[in-house]
Chains A and B, each alone.
Chain A
Amino acid sequence: MLDTRTPLVEMNDISISFGGIRAVDRASIDLFPGEVVGLLGHNGAGKSTLIKILSGAYRRDTGSIRINGEDANINNPRDAKGYGIETIYQQLAVADNVDAAANLFLGREIITPLGTLDDAAMESKAREVMGRLNPNFRRFKEPVKALSGGQRQSVAIARAILFNARILIMDEPTAALGPQETAQVGDLIKQLKSDGIGIFLISHDIHDVFDLADRVVVMKNGQVVGSARTQDVSKDEVLGMIILGKVPPGATAGPGAIAG
């Protein structure tokens, strides 16, 4: 039933090389509206690279990207944002020296009729969004540098939802967070999912994503080992995919699966 709808994202046969090393090798992956797909693999498996191609940070060598069934031309982060793709990066891509509101609106500032920055309006909107996301957040006037990892992460997430993302990419979304903040992010993901947003969760730690994801896709050495619905496989089987490249019965094998 799921497969009859048009996927939100289809990446087909994507390859990219860096100085002779194939970081991503003919990888294909898709995402449906309201679906959470966990992209798993060891460090260096190529998952972050693959997803950076979608977010426009890298340019693919070969392959095609379709958004809502139509060919998409993504060459830089601005193009990706044009397609409603928002990314929350592993290294918490916020500008440390400016405050939360400035980060939320970076690149898309609210402007007064005179063409100047409307700081009051931006801060007011920031307070509204952050209030929904993290009601305890109070430090609007301080540079983001002064915030905790969880607070910075909520700034990054608020930034994505503020601009009505349809496709959300979260690279190690909970790696820098404590248990309580991780639970908060989990709730948030469920909320975004019910709004019909498609989410890629990227992680090397299966425990981070297994309970949140509808489907997992495992990568190894730049190739897709296979994909499976989380209801059809166990955590141990997925671990086997990550470590050995062995595809269990409940999963669909990809080009990177070991024979047998």
Chain B
Amino acid sequence: MAEQQAYSANIHPSKFAQNPLQRFLMATEIDTRLLGMIGALAIIWIGFNVFSGGLFLTPRNLWNLSVQTASVAVMVTGMVLIIVTRNIDLSVGSVLGVVGMVMGVMQTDILPNQLGLGLGNPLIWVLSLVGGLLVGIGIGALQGVIIAYLRVPAFIVTLGGYLVWRGAAWWVTMGRTVAPMDPTFQLMGGGPAGSVGQRWSWVVASIACAAILIGLYTGRRQRRRFSFPLRPLWAEAALGAIGCGLTIGAVWVANAYPWPRRIAENYAAANGLTVPETGLFISHGIAIPVLIAMGVGVVMSFISMRTRFGRYVFAMGGNPEAAELAGINTRWVTVKIFMLMGALCAIAAAISTARLNAATNALGTLDELYVIAAAVIGGTSLAGGVGSIAGALLGALVMQSLQSGMVLMGMDSPLQSIVVGIVLVFAVWLDTLYRRNKH
């Protein structure tokens, strides 16, 4: 305490806040823009719940919402880095399509028949996934090299890619749909089998809560070590409580959604369980694609905030010339960003094909627009230099909530497009106002 008073700079700024709300926001150091998005999401959820007669805020719908968001959520984490460096990628939907087809053909034909592994071989899903990742990374590297070294604008390169890779997806099987997928591979798409169940969901929740608390503790210790201003203790406690509360709440919802009756009965019959009068209650728990998306979110946040690569991405977005003059190999960094995007498209392709249990050449159509919209709604600035993974993930959830809610209300699909379009423009306008007021 004595040490804190010795330097005026060491007093936490929240000491100077005027009202309780401001003090809370400053003490917890919560980004107000993120908070605004959470508020918008809450309004959307409650609004749809009211208008759909209580159908929206049910465990079943929220669970489905989480699975539907997973594919776009995976891709949006890469799109943030691309937009931050003042580039754009219009090809992600088509890349998803072609990679999905490649993975489909690998697991239905090439690996089991031509290489003679036989259907159901445990290597099949692994090799298909690895093959898909390599194709995705390769496509990203190709586009990245053309953008960074041949100096063709990203808009043009990926617009070309949009057509090329969609065409290539058709070419893989001459437009035939590939089905069914390998049973293990299918788990990546969710469904009763592709969820981790009650017990493991709580394990995940415990790990997440522990990570939140450890993160807060080590953050505080680091600040003390370098005598930076500390957050007040009550603010740390509030952050911990909010973080853990949200985690536990989400897992509770996922666990409250039971398997459909018929599937539960089949499962009971296969395992010799007796079905009670009230029906068998087997929780879905967190879906595997959602776990994948959360894992990707954590890894990408880490990359963007804690590694040199992430630092360079943001510096390049803020001032490309300064980054170049600082000795950063900006071209190679650009190529790496697009390779990362390709890998994320491949993961999203695995989720989408597994969920559909088929690879079709139309898979991922229009995804590029949803991904870009999610990134922009999530606070990524098209002018470059500004954006966050967490915001973009929230943006993806907002977009999917809108769509899912409109489907629940039985809105016509042309009207859905109109609403999504208007919301996108409106959200960006609000963001412009927010940024202008801030400076």
Contacts and interface: CB of A to CB of B under 8 A. Distances in A.
Interface of A: 55, 57, 76-78, 81, 87, 89, 91, 93-98, 102-103, 106-109, 111, 115-117, 120-121, 123-124, 138, 143, 146
Contact of A81 (B310, B314, B327): B327
Interface string B310-340: 1110111111011111111100000000000
Q: Max chain A CB contacts within 10 Å: which of B9, B302, B318, B325?
A: B325
A115 B226 contact: no
A109 B327 contact: no
Given A95-B323, A120-B228, 13 more contacts: A78-B327, A91-B321, A93-B321, A97-B319, A102-B311, A106-B315, A107-B326, A107-B328, A116-B307, A120-B223, A120-B226, A121-B226, A123-B226
Contacts of B386: 97
Nearest to A123: B226
Contacts of B439: 146
Q: Max chain A CB contacts within 10 Å: which of B317, B319, B321, B329?
A: B319
Nearest to B387: A97
Contacts of B385: 95-97
B22 interface: no
A128 to B, nearest CB: 11
A106 B307 contact: no
Interface size range on B against A: 20 to 34
A107 B327 contact: yes
B222 interface: yes
B307 A117 contact: yes
Contacts, number: 83
B436 interface: no
A89 B307 contact: no
Contacts of B317: 97
Nearest to B317: A97
A146 B222 CA distance: 25
Nearest to A92: B322
B15 interface: no
B308 A95 contact: no
B306 A116 contact: yes
B311 A93 contact: no
B319 A117 contact: no
A101 to B, nearest CB: 11
Nearest to A139: B9
26 contacts: A76-B327, A77-B325, A77-B327, A78-B329, A89-B325, A93-B319, A93-B325, A93-B326, A95-B326, A95-B385, A96-B318, A96-B385, A97-B317, A97-B318, A97-B319, A98-B318, A106-B326, A107-B312, A107-B323, A115-B307, A117-B305, A117-B308, A117-B310, A120-B225, A123-B228, A138-B9
A111 B311 CA distance: 12
B322 A93 contact: yes
A92 to B, nearest CB: 8
Interface string B198-231: 0000000000000000000000001101101000
Contacts of B308: 109, 111, 117
A116 B310 CA distance: 10
Interface in B329-385: 329, 385
A95 B319 contact: yes
B306 to A, nearest CB: 4
Interface in B407-439: 439
Q: Max chain B CB contacts within 10 Å: which of A76, A108, A115, A116?
A: A116
Contacts of A76: 327
B229 to A, nearest CB: 9
Contacts of A117: 305-308, 310-311
Nearest to A93: B322
Q: Max chain B CB contacts within 10 Å: which of A87, A96, A138?
A: A96
B311 A98 contact: yes
Contacts of A111: 308
Contacts of A95: 314-316, 318-319, 322-323, 326, 385
Contacts of B329: 78
B345 to A, nearest CB: 26
Contacts of A146: 439
A93 B321 CA distance: 7
Contact of B325 (A57, A96, A138, A143): A57
A120 B222 contact: yes
Interface in B1-25: 9
A81 B305 CA distance: 26
Contacts of A57: 325
Given A96-B318, A96-B385, A98-B318, A87 B325 contact: yes
B316 to A, nearest CB: 8
Nearest to A102: B311
B71 to A, nearest CB: 29
A106 B314 contact: no
A108 B326 CA distance: 9
Contacts of B223: 120
A98 B317 CA distance: 10
A256 to B, nearest CB: 28
Nearest to B386: A97
Given A81-B327, A102-B311, A116-B306, A124 B226 contact: yes
Nearest to B314: A98
Contacts of A98: 311, 314-315, 318
A124 B307 CA distance: 18
